[in-house]
Amino acid sequence: MSTRSFVALACLALAATPVRAQQDARDGVATSVSWLAAHLHDADLVVLHVGPDSGYAAGHLPGARHVGLRQITAPNDDAGLAVEFGPDSMLQRQLADLGIGDRSRVVVVAAPDWQTSAMRVLSTLYYAGLGDRARVLDGGLAAWTAAGKPLTTEVPPATKGRLTIRPRHDFVVDAGFVGSHAGKAGWAVVDARGQAFYDGVRNSTFARNDPGKPGHVPGALSIGVSEVYADDGSFLPNDQLRALFTKAGVKPGDVVVGYCHIGIYANSIITAARILGHDVRLYDGSFQDWAKRNLPLETKPAGGQ
C-alpha cells in the first residue's frame, strides 16, 4: 500500500471515530423495536410501560408492567417537593416490587405523549446503578405499533425481584452545586422548561394562588424539552441533537446538569445528553426548589436580546 493510500485510509478511520462513538453512546441508552421484539421473551428482561392506567388497560407490550412515577418517588406532601428520589432503601424496594432483580435488563416504553415521564423512570434506573442494563425504547409504544408488533391486555403476574442497588449519589445535585457550577468551564447547566419560562415571560407556579417567580438559574442554558424529540416521539438523530446542544452553548465534553419545573422534563435533556456521550447530573429539586430558597434569578427577553 502506498503512503498516500495509507494516510487516506487513516483519515477516513479518524473521521468515522466520533460517529461510531456517538452511535455506541446511543446504543447504551436507547434500543430499537427490532431488538426488543427479538428479546421480548428473554427470562431476564423486564419491560416497564409508562402511561395512563386507561392506556395500559387498552393495550401494552406482552409482559410489560405498568409503572407510575408515584411508585418510584418519595411520598409527596405539602412541605416537600413534587417529585424527588426517596431513601435508597425505599428505592430498592420500589424497583424490586416491579420485578427487577440483579440480573435483569430493563426496557422503558413510553405511551404516546408520555416520553418525559418515561425518561424520569430511566433516570431513576440510572441513579440506582442499573444504567448499563436499562434502555428506553426509541419512539416508545407508537414505534412498536407502527412496526405492526402485537399488544395485549393481559397483566403479567406480580413478581418481586432480588435486587441490590448501587446508587450513583453524585448523579443528583442540589441548589448549592448548581449555583457554583452554572457558567463554569466544563459544565453546562441546562434549563429544560419552555423558552417563555426561561425568559421570564411566564412564571413557574407550584401551588394554588402562588404567583410564582420569573426567570432562570443565573448562567443556565436553554434547551426546551420538546426540542430533543422528532415528530414521531423518538429522539432526534445524533447529528441534529449535537447541533441543538451546540447552538444552546453546550460544548463537547461538558458535564450536563439538567433542571426544569419539578424534575421531570429535565430527564429528557439528560437522556439526550447521554446519547451524545456526555456525563450528566440531575438537579432533582429543579426550579421549584430554587424558587423556594429565594435564590437569584436571571430574566432574558424573548429572542435573547
144 and 183 belong to one structural domain: no
Domain assignment of residue 305, yes or no: no
For residue 58 the three cell numbers come to 387498552
146 and 234 belong to one structural domain: no
For residue 75 the three cell numbers come to 411520598
Q: Kindly report the average pLDDT of the chain as a whole number.
A: 89
55 and 134 belong to one structural domain: yes
Domain assignment of residue 285, yes or no: yes
If you average pLDDT over residues 13-19, what whole number do you get? 42
Res 82: pLDDT: 73
Domain assignment of residue 101, yes or no: yes
| Tens of pLDDT, residues 115-167 | 999 999 999 999 999 999 999 999 999 999 999 999 999 999 999 999 999 99
Domain assignment of residue 215, yes or no: yes
Of residues 84 and 29, more confidence is placed in: 29
Task: Indicate the DSSP class of residue 133.
Answer: G
Of 2-16, 167-181, 238-252, where does mean pLDDT reach its minimum?
2-16
Q: 141, 167, 193: which is the final residue of a domain? A: 167
270 and 188 belong to one structural domain: yes
132 and 225 belong to one structural domain: no
Domain assignment of residue 299, yes or no: no
25 and 141 belong to one structural domain: no
Domain assignment of residue 300, yes or no: no
If you average pLDDT over residues 208-234, what whole number do you get? 92
For residue 111 the three cell numbers come to 405511551
Where are the strands (E) in 54-129, listed by range? 65-66, 105-110
Res 125: pLDDT: 97
CATH label of the domain that carries residue 54 = 3.40.250.10
Q: How many domains does the chain have?
A: 3
Res 85: pLDDT: 86
Of 40-44, 172-176, 202-206, 224-228, where does mean pLDDT reach its minimum?
202-206
Range of the domain at 179: 170-292
If you average pLDDT over residues 253-273, what whole number do you get? 97
Domain assignment of residue 282, yes or no: yes
Where are the strands (E) in the chain, listed by range? 30-31, 45-50, 65-66, 105-110, 134-137, 172-173, 187-191, 221-222, 255-259, 280-283
Res 72: pLDDT: 87
pLDDT > 90? residue 301: no
Res 23: pLDDT: 55
Domain assignment of residue 297, yes or no: no
218 and 156 belong to one structural domain: no
Distances in Å between the Cα of 294 and the Cα atoms of 204, 258, 266, 273 are 13, 19, 21, 29
Of residues 106 and 76, more confidence is placed in: 106
47 and 152 belong to one structural domain: yes
Pairwise CA distance, residues 6 & 116, whole Å: 47
178 and 275 belong to one structural domain: yes
196 and 155 belong to one structural domain: no
163 and 261 belong to one structural domain: no
pLDDT > 80? residue 9: no
HSE-up of 48 (CA within 13 Å, CB side)? 30
CA 268 to centroid of chain Cα atoms: 4
The share of the chain scoring above pLDDT 90, in percent, equals 79
If you average pLDDT over residues 91-99, what whole number do you get? 95
57 and 177 belong to one structural domain: no
Where are the strands (E) in 28-180, listed by range? 30-31, 45-50, 65-66, 105-110, 134-137, 172-173
pLDDT > 80? residue 248: yes
